[in-house]
Structure 1
């Protein structure tokens, strides 16, 4: 993404769909053994406009020993190269997340909920979320217009039913999708989480949605059950649309099954590898850049 933090085309129409927003932590609430909700707000979030569903954004956290994240050149198009050129000890930690919900808060300033999957002490974002507290400072690179390319869930108008498959990292996106799902559109869910109590991270399902849960207990050898579970299921007739998110290898395997064994048109599948077993987000970004 490139960004321009200053210009606008009119009173309500930003010239770019994404820009940087300063924010602070308002509240922290543990949802389940594996998920914590952090609510961000403050006047720096004015103009943030989530498109709902699986709206993604980039979160910048302070590096160790710093209280505020800094992204040099954030007001222009060269911020990414300037950020990468920084000493790793000084560079803000960048991670991709999904907006669980947005609403107007105190003083009319936006509040956004972000649900973090906790993986113990194995990553900087997980450590930050587990220890976050009110008034902690962060930086968001997110949408300034609701209809933006970082919303992936877009079923075609003729869709008769949807299939949602996700692991714990994509549970927040599933919640956002269910919030906006048309009441007459049936939804079949396959969800894989570490613990039984992680089911509580989702609110009660609407009447037209039916969920199948499985647990892996944090054991990599027990992951990957989504493809097996879907393979054993009977899918409805009609024109389906599938949204798949979570560990990259599992997502690809499920997409292959739906296309080659279930005959689902690949154009009716949205899939996203939120993470990859054995790889950090820094490694994945480096690979994407050809480094």
Structure 2
């Protein structure tokens, strides 16, 4: 699998301006920089690629001087030199009076950093970076310069009258961003799963949304806790529901199978994204076509 920089995407050189812990498993990092004036996004589940430095590096190493050949050049760098690349969701952005983006927020899951059962997954380089991120830390972001772009996957078809969302902690930032984008009166049923009670949030939304949180605790990995709730949910006999499912790839598959096979949601009206797969790195997922 290859990645190219092509319109509407470009690189943005950014710095951390502040961080805020959202719970045991989540930290929000706010970025800014002069390059952001060209950043555009319609939000929802906007995907971004972040390039992070290794410990001891002052900035991420990406051979941008190679132009279109940056990807191959980056791949050829030693593992302990080339920037760590990870996919994240735009949680929020702020703009000035002229509409130029001034700050963006990205929420990081602290796999293996948070205490308790949620730390069962070994901490990866992005979690370790986010746990110690501080103002002035430098990153590169590959993101959109056009608001409506192909890295936004949440796209309810015309005629949708019910939105169904399922997400684990890695997709909670995207799910809550989606909720914030829904217009008033939109009906939504939402199931969100997190490792700790302290990770539960109160999403801001104008939608008519029924949100159910599940706290996995010890021994809760492997199968979505929401399956029984989705199976028992009262869905209208008529109409056109649209489902968005994101998180651990195996769990996403189970939820999709239930919605399509048991609840009768048209498979064409289901967007499903494996943000991660238990036991696999993001590099392996990219090779498998999951990210």
Q: TM-score, normalised by structure 1?
A: 0.89
Shift of 1:248: 0.3
* 1:99-126 deviations in Å (ceiling 9; x for gaps): 0001126996520000111113411101
Aligned-residue offset at 1:149: 0.2
Q: Which runs of 5+ in 1 are unaligned?
A: 5-15
1:152-211 residue CA offsets vs partner (Å, 9 max, x unmatched): 1100120011001001111111111111101121010011111112112x4345460111
Aligned partner (choices 80, 85, 95) of residue 89 of structure 1: 80
Deviations 1:2-47 (A, max 9, x none): 225xxxxxxxxxxx10010000001100111111100000112220
Q: Any idea what SS the aligned residue of 2:68 has? A: coil
Distance in structure 1 (CA, Å) of the matches to 2:95 and 2:204: 23
2:164–2:189 CA contact under 8 A, matched in 1:
yes
Aligned to 1:120: 112
Residues 27 and 109 of structure 2 are in contact (CA less than 8 Å); yes or no, is this contact kept in structure 1? Answer: yes
Paired with 1:219 and 1:46, the residues of 2 have a C-alpha distance of 45
1:2 aligned partner:
4
Question: Runs of at least 4 residues of structure 1 off by over 6 A?
Answer: none
Q: Secondary structure at the match of 2:273?
A: strand
Partner Cα distance (1:68, 1:99) in 2? 21
Q: 1:74 to 1:149 in 2, by over 3 A?
A: farther
Whole-angstrom distance in 1 between the partners of 2:31 and 2:71: 23
**2:285 pairs with 1:284:** yes
Shift of 1:250: 0.5
Are residues 1:110 and 2:102 paired? Answer: yes
The number of residue pairs the alignment matches comes to: 277
Matches within 5 A, 1:68-79: 68-73=59-64, 76-79=67-70
Q: CA deviation at 1:258?
A: 1.1
The equivalent residue for 2:271 is: 270
Instruction: Provide the rounded CA distance (Å) in 2 between the counterparts of 1:75 and 1:134.
Output: 29
Task: For residue 219 of structure 1, report the CA deviation from its aligned partner.
Answer: 3.8
Match of 1:172? 173
Alignment of 1:236-275 (within 5 A): 236-237=236-237, 238-275=239-276
Partners of 1:222 and 1:70 in 2: how far apart? 36
Gaps of 5+ in 2: 114-122
Within a 5 Å distance, the mapping from 1:216-231 to structure 2 comes to 216-217=216-217, 219-221=219-221, 223-231=223-231
Post-superposition shift, 1:223? 4.6
What do you get for the CA RMSD once the two structures are aligned? 2.0
The CA distance in 2 between the partners of 1:288 and 1:268, in whole Å, is 21
